[in-house]
Amino acid sequence: MSEVNIIEQYHIRAKEFAKSYGEEPSDHIINVMASAMMTRDKVLQGGSFVQAVVDNDLASAVSRADSECVKNLRIITLAYRFGQLVESEF
């Protein structure tokens, strides 16, 4: 599977994950959620905000977050912790 297809799969899964929690975040937040999941799975490396989420460093995450990420910190963190692609999707 190509790298682009893997990235698309993470974005699709992030959107489905948010919907399962009753959330409909912006494309920006879907991208951040996917980035957190890909960083966890060592597919791609996220930016400084995502790395702070991965490191479970709340102070750094809040200080690095834009206003939209601050408002969506819960769903981003949940996606990082629990949003999984099934193995057959890799």
Task: Note the pLDDT of residue 90.
Answer: 44
Q: Confidence band (pLDDT; 50, 70, 90) for 89?
A: very low
Question: Is the model's pLDDT at 88 over the cut of 50?
Answer: no
Provide the angle, in degrees to the nearest 10, between the axes of the packed helices 73-82 and 3-20.
120
Determine the pLDDT at residue 12. Answer: 97
pLDDT level of residue 3 (50, 70, 90 thresholds):
low
pLDDT at 86: 73
Residue 78 contacts residue 21 (beta carbons within 8 Å): yes
Whether the full predicted model's pTM is greater than 0.85, yes or no, is yes
